[in-house]
Amino acid sequence: MKLYMLLGLFILSNSVFANCPAWLNHSIDRLHSNKTVNLCEVVQNKPVLIVNTASHCGYTKQFKGLEALHQQYKTKGLVVIGFPSDSFNQEASQEAETAEVCYKNFGVSFLMSKPILVKGKAAHPIFKTLNQQQGEPAWNFNKYLVDANGQVVKRFDSWVKPSASALTKEIEAVL
């Protein structure tokens, strides 16, 4: 009986990954933590808003709006993930400072990764896919909306605030 239960759990856990798009089948390191998160487990059958962020950018204040989106839509299934990046030379040099900006200054509770690259040949594989489908980000705080099937729906430029009706309408359409 125990063997069957273990096999059932193994099959169930593998089916989670079978439904996950390959481009999201990555583990990411959480910001200022020794914990790793498998994105397939986090985003399975849920829409996702992926954002390339930076601690020292004119758009850094958008963390507050992203947190508001997270709070407003998390019970409906939306997952918000921030990926700090120094691709535009606007990220803090120390991960602890990045964490302070996110968690202390803006009260971020959504998933944040350790800093990664979001453009060019060295871009993280997630952003390579996003870039192929929607173009490379020209700056920080580009927002990529992904539906529950892992299809990239739309990219919103940096200047589009998290509270913009164009963004919230698209989010509501994929919920």
pLDDT in tens, 12-41: 444 445 678 899 999 999 999 999 999 999
Residue at 138 is within a domain: yes
Whether residue 89 has pLDDT greater than 70: yes
Strands 152-156 and 143-146: antiparallel
Residue at 143 is within a domain: yes
Share of the chain above pLDDT 70, in %: 90
Counted domains in the chain: 1
Instruction: Report pLDDT for 18.
Output: 62
Angle separating helix axes 62-73 and 165-174, nearest 10 degrees: 30
Residues 6+ apart with CB under 8 A from 102: 31, 53, 55, 63, 82, 84, 108, 112
pLDDT tens digit string along 116-140? Answer: 999 999 999 999 999 999 999 999 9
Residue at 15 is within a domain: no
Instruction: Report pLDDT for 14.
Output: 45
Whether residue 49 has pLDDT greater than 60: yes
Q: Which domain holds residue 52?
A: 21-174
Instruction: Tell me if residue 57 is catalytic.
Output: yes
Read off the pLDDT of each residue in 57-67 and give the average, rounded to a whole number: 98
